[in-house]
Amino acid sequence: MIARLLGCFLLVLYAFQGAGQSPQTAAFQQALAHASTDTSRVLLLADLSATYRYSHFDSVQWYALQGLKLARRIGYPKGEGRCLSRLAILLSERGNLPEALRLNLQALQLNRQSHDARGEARTLNQTGLLYFALDDFRPSLRYYFQARTTYQQAHLDDVSLLASITTNIGASYQGLALLDSASYYLRQAHDLTTTPPPTGWSCWGNPQPYILRELGRLQASRGLTSSALDHYRRSAKAAIPENDLRSRCRAFQYMAELFYRRQQPDSCVLYARKSLVVGQTLPFIVGVLRTSTLLADVFKARGQNDSTLKYMGIMLTAQDSLHNPQRIKQLDAIGFDEQLRLRQLEEERAELTTSFRLYALWVGLGTLLLVALLLGRHIYKQKQANQRLQYLNNQINQQKEELTQQRDTLGRMVQQLRTAQSQLVLREKMASLGELMASVAHEIKNPMSSVKNLAAISAELCQDLREELAKTVLPIDDQQMIDEMFNNLSQYQSKIVMYTQRAEGL
């Protein structure tokens, strides 16, 4: 009875949500209305939630919460994991990455607990998207490849999921600037969506708009502007029948950014406004933030202050609704690897069987015994080494004292030798100087004696000359002048004799 009432209520609700449906929504609504078991209802509610992922976020939350409540009430871990995964998608789209991470980790544990390979592959893919949102492409690639491996090992038949994983791998390689690898995977993803699968698209719909958009980004990275614009337009067009507002918003946004880089402000404003309108309809907060920021920059460059303020207001509102993205990125980057690692360790520990416990105990006891023996041997060797070192240290100290004494003795001897050497050098210098002086004195005395004798002879000659001149009568003036000259000559000769006598006395 309760199930029928719930089905009737949902049929009434569908009538008011038709505008936000995707092409897959109606089929799941009919299936939910005729579901006969609670478990199938939970899975259908999760799938219905997924059909609104790109068109109406409130419906995503509503159906996922309804399925989560029912799954927990009936104790259905598989359905609980699926619904938690849908809620994590919604939180990540709105920028609340830490909460999205927490829900993804819970969903992943429930997926593995219930052996839900499809749900596990989807959750791993979403976990990679969280890393991708932080521009951390290598961890995102690791989770995408895990999702791909899980998909292949379980032999799943979900083209939407495989195409999404493959596209995400290509987008991550593009983020790492490995354009050849990006092209390889994006082409693979595009080939998967060229024709609908025989069983029709899953609740996730046709991912072609997303693939075309990423192919456009690849062409833009290679500088092929015309090809990039063509892919963006095809993406926006392909999003219409899928009611994929998110891809349409992104396609217009990338076109606007491309025109902005090409300095075509009019085209930039045109597509940025289209992107903003579509993003606000969803509402896709990340897209609203990007396009409003772009429009604010364009109008600021034009000097149109009113329009600048308008779009800056929209930008600030979007930032507030994203719960401070910078803080979220910091928290997520710090705790992301550690939380997932701890989760995996817990799961691996839970898989260990009791049969290994005794073996581990014996191994532990053996290890402890071995460690104890090695430690005792090490302590014994260490003690011997310490004794040997102490003995060597004493010898070294003794030798050090002896060397110190010898050094001091040698120092004093060196000082004495230096003093004696200085005295010997001085004596040798004095002896050399004495010999030099004696030699000089000897060399001086001989000429001095000769000079003195010649001066004496000269004095006698002058006296004889004066006596001879006295016999001759000369004028008085001449006689006075000659006498004065003889007097001067006599004085000079006397001084010569005196100086020579002093020199001889040295």
Q: What is the pLDDT of residues 146-168, one digit of tens each?
A: 999 999 999 998 899 999 999 99
Does the pLDDT of residue 385 top 90, yes or no?
no
Task: Classify 223 in phi/psi space as left (phi over 0), alpha (psi -120 to 50) or beta.
Answer: left
> Rounded to whole angstroms, how far apart are CA atoms 56 and 60?
7
Q: Supply the mean pLDDT for the chain.
A: 83
Does the pLDDT of residue 429 top 90, yes or no?
no
Q: Centre a 10 Å sphere on the Cβ of residue 56 and count the other Cβ atoms it contains.
A: 22
Looking at residues 249-270, what average pLDDT do you find? 93
Q: Which of these ranges, 1-15, 111-125, 198-212, 256-270, has the smallest mean pLDDT?
A: 1-15
Give Cβ neighbours of residue 226 (< 8 Å, ≥ 6 apart): none
**Predicted local distance difference test score (pLDDT) of residue 340:** 57
**Predicted local distance difference test score (pLDDT) of residue 130:** 83
**Predicted local distance difference test score (pLDDT) of residue 279:** 87
Q: Which of these ranges, 209-218, 391-400, 480-489, has the smallest mean pLDDT?
A: 480-489
Question: Which one-letter DSSP state was computed for residue 114?
Answer: T
Token pair of 123, please? Answer: 């959750």
**Predicted local distance difference test score (pLDDT) of residue 351:** 67
Q: Centre a 10 Å sphere on the Cβ of residue 405 and count the other Cβ atoms it contains.
A: 10
> Rounded to whole angstroms, how far apart are CA atoms 209 and 23?
14
**Predicted local distance difference test score (pLDDT) of residue 14:** 37
Q: How far is CA 121 from the centre of its chain?
A: 32
**Predicted local distance difference test score (pLDDT) of residue 341:** 58
> Rounded to whole angstroms, how far apart are CA atoms 155 and 430?
115
Q: Centre a 10 Å sphere on the Cβ of residue 188 and count the other Cβ atoms it contains.
A: 16
Looking at residues 454-458, what average pLDDT do you find? 78
> Rounded to whole angstroms, how far apart are CA atoms 254 and 443?
116
Confidence band for 322, pLDDT divided at 50, 70 and 90: low
CA atoms within 13 A on the CB side of 67: 30
Give Cβ neighbours of residue 270 (< 8 Å, ≥ 6 apart): 256
Question: Which one-letter DSSP state was computed for residue 18?
Answer: G
Does the pLDDT of residue 496 top 70, yes or no?
yes
Give Cβ neighbours of residue 159 (< 8 Å, ≥ 6 apart): 192, 193, 197, 201, 202
Tens of pLDDT along 349-360?
A: 666 666 667 777
> Rounded to whole angstroms, how far apart are CA atoms 210 and 208?
5
Angstrom distances, CA of residue 309 to CA of 129, 295, 305: 33, 10, 6
Angstrom distances, CA of residue 186 to CA of 133, 148, 494: 19, 14, 132
Confidence band for 13, pLDDT divided at 50, 70 and 90: very low
**Predicted local distance difference test score (pLDDT) of residue 466:** 74
> Rounded to whole angstroms, how far apart are CA atoms 31 and 257?
42
Q: How far is CA 288 from the centre of its chain?
A: 30
Instruction: Say what the pTM is.
Output: 0.63
Confidence band for 483, pLDDT divided at 50, 70 and 90: confident
CA atoms within 13 A on the CB side of 12: 5
Does the pLDDT of residue 330 top 70, yes or no?
no
Does the pLDDT of residue 4 top 50, yes or no?
no
Percent of the chain with pLDDT over 90: 37
| Number of helices and strands in the chain (H, E) | 19, 0
Q: Centre a 10 Å sphere on the Cβ of residue 234 and count the other Cβ atoms it contains.
A: 17
Angstrom distances, CA of residue 13 to CA of 20, 55, 203, 283, 494: 12, 16, 19, 20, 156
Among candidates 117, 114, 168, 179, which has minimal Cα distance to 143? 168
Looking at residues 116-143, what average pLDDT do you find? 89
Looking at residues 29-40, what average pLDDT do you find? 92
Confidence band for 7, pLDDT divided at 50, 70 and 90: very low
**Predicted local distance difference test score (pLDDT) of residue 440:** 74
Tens of pLDDT along 91-114?
A: 887 777 778 888 888 999 999 999
Looking at residues 224-251, what average pLDDT do you find? 92
Among candidates 156, 171, 147, 133, which has minimal Cα distance to 329? 133
> Rounded to whole angstroms, how far apart are CA atoms 416 and 424?
12
**Predicted local distance difference test score (pLDDT) of residue 5:** 40
Q: Centre a 10 Å sphere on the Cβ of residue 225 and count the other Cβ atoms it contains.
A: 14
Question: Which one-letter DSSP state was computed for residue 224?
Answer: -
On whether the CB atoms of residues 227 and 243 are closer than 8 A, the answer is no
Percent of the chain with pLDDT over 70: 88
Q: Which of these ranges, 143-147, 189-193, 283-287, has the smallest mean pLDDT?
A: 283-287
Q: Which of these ranges, 89-103, 403-417, 462-476, has the smallest mean pLDDT?
A: 462-476
Does the pLDDT of residue 32 top 50, yes or no?
yes
